[in-house]
Amino acid sequence: MNMRKNSGWLIHLAIWTVILAMPFFSPQPGRPLHGGVDYSRYLPVVVSFVIVFYTNYLVLIKRYLSSHRTWLFLLWNVALIAAASVSVHMFFRYVLAPIGTPPPRSVLDTISFTVRNTVIYVAIVGISVAVKMTTEWYANEAQRKEIEKNQAEAELANLKSQVNPHFLFNTLNNIYSLIQIDPSEAQKAIHNLSGMLRYVLYESQKNTVPLSKECEFLEEYVKLMSARLTSGVRLEVSLPGATSDRQIAPLLFIPLIENAFKHGISDSAESFIRIRLNEDNEYVTCLVENSCYPKDNTDRSGSGIGITNLKRRLDLLYPGAYSFENGRVQSVYRSLLRIKA
């Protein structure tokens, strides 16, 4: 914000520096510059330009034009330009003439000079309006973007807060089932869960994490969820090595894997889950496929918000930089997520 303000004033300074220097590059015919006394004939005109510009820029535009009182804005400018023109003429006639500058202009020259300056005054009013409106537009645009950014961050934080209990609900439900089957394995699962919770509570609050850390978390989650699988379930997992330092937003792949364990396993039929996560120079790709055994409406192992939540987070985090497909093809449910990261 400070840089934007400073650059604005630098632009003003540059414009007026050029205007002040103009007599040195284009002196009027028959009136060459010979030091400070000659330049003084140009300086009062510039001062009047500055007064007209900043009276509009700092007062009139905000007070009248921005509040749609256009006629008052025009009347004030007519009065302002008339006062500036008369003041410059009086300064030339009664201040500069007695101190040895070239003789005063004729009546015709004075009229021509006044008309020319009036046109310039009107142009300066227009420039002042253009600069003010442009400045306000950029300020409003920056404010709008800041509000949108804050809203997106707040929504993202809310979505993350939904993921955490959703994840915890599913893992605790799995451990509860495991206690009935194998208490010793359930104890190990609880120990592993404590490490996963640290990741969810602390690492996942960051904007991005190394892909290697996310894969470690996914691997631990798969171990925990597969602890109670029967021999009738075929599980295939392929994750990148622990050396990948590519940055990725946390907890984006977990809903796909949760879904697979929730809907891909049958207690009475052959089942399978395939999880493949890989990366190339441009994309991180997660493919999850599973046999399809949808739970009935009485099953509460998860709230069903996972995929909806995921899509919204992707829209906020990777707008236009991801693709997501999911659906059932015959007896196989397939989810494919590609992120440009």
Q: Check whether residue 172 and residue 93 sit in a common domain.
A: no
Q: What is the pLDDT of residue 300?
A: 43
Q: Check whether residue 76 and residue 158 sit in a common domain.
A: no
Q: What is the pLDDT of residue 284?
A: 94
Of 69, 104, 139, the one marking the end of a domain is: 104
pLDDT digits over 61-93, tens only?
999 998 889 999 999 999 999 999 888 878 877
Domain that residue 220 falls in = 154-340
Copy the structure tokens of residue 289: 């496929």
Q: What is the pLDDT of residue 335?
A: 94
Q: What is the pLDDT of residue 8?
A: 67
The phi, psi pair for 325, rounded to 5°, reads: -130, 135
Burial class (CB in 10 A: 0-12, 13-18, 19+), 84: buried
Beta bridge partners of 277: 286
Q: What is the pLDDT of residue 9?
A: 75
Task: Count how many domains the chain has.
Answer: 2
Claim: this prediction has a pTM higher than 0.75: no
Rounded Cα distance between 195 and 250, Å, is 16
Q: Check whether residue 177 and residue 292 sit in a common domain.
A: yes
CATH number at 227 reads 3.30.565.10
Q: Check whether residue 167 and residue 248 sit in a common domain.
A: yes
The number of C-alpha atoms within 13 Å of 201 and in the hemisphere containing its C-beta is: 7
In sequence order, which residues have a C-beta less than 8 Å from that of residue 228 and are 6 or more positions away? Answer: 174, 177, 178, 181, 182, 185
pLDDT (tens place) for every residue of the chain, 341 residues total: 555 556 667 777 877 777 666 656 545 544 555 544 456 667 788 888 889 999 999 999 999 998 889 999 999 999 999 999 888 878 877 776 655 555 555 667 667 777 887 888 898 899 889 888 888 888 888 888 887 887 777 777 777 666 666 677 777 877 877 787 778 878 888 878 888 888 887 887 888 999 999 999 999 889 888 877 888 899 999 987 656 788 999 989 999 998 898 888 887 788 999 999 999 889 999 999 999 876 655 444 444 567 888 999 999 999 999 999 999 888 899 999 999 98
Q: Check whether residue 7 and residue 71 sit in a common domain.
A: yes
Residue with tokens 């840089």: 3
Q: Check whether residue 70 and residue 175 sit in a common domain.
A: no
State the alpha helices, DSSP H only, in 182-290: 183-201, 211-226, 254-263
Q: Check whether residue 273 and residue 172 sit in a common domain.
A: yes
Of 104, 137, 164, the one marking the end of a domain is: 104
28 in the Ramachandran plot: left (φ > 0), alpha (ψ -120 to 50) or beta? beta
Q: Check whether residue 97 and residue 37 sit in a common domain.
A: yes
